[in-house]
Amino acid sequence: MIAVANNQLESGQKAAARKTLEQVVAKYPGTEGARAANNRLKTLK
């Protein structure tokens, strides 16, 4: 799902990417993917 968010960002869909990353954090808490998604979210704000 992080790859999806990256593709969304590359195509200018910032809001969709933020939502996708938030879904990763919610669905997979405590995982490496959730940590990566959180880090990516911080760069979007």
Look up the domain containing 24 and give its range.
2-44
* Dihedral sign for Cα atoms in the order 2, 6, 15, 36: positive
Q: How far apart are CA 6 and CA 18, in angstroms?
A: 10
Number of domains comprising the chain = 1
Whole-number average pLDDT of the chain: 96
DSSP-derived letter for residue 1 is: -
Question: Where do we find the tokens 């990516």?
Answer: 40
pLDDT of residue 42: 96
Summarised one tens digit per residue, pLDDT across range 7-45 is 999 999 999 999 999 999 999 999 999 999 999 999 987
Q: How far apart are CA 29 and CA 45, in angstroms?
A: 20
Q: What percent of the chain has pLDDT over 90?
A: 96
Q: How far apart are CA 15 and CA 32, in angstroms?
A: 22
pLDDT band at 3 (very low <50, low <70, confident <90, very high): very high
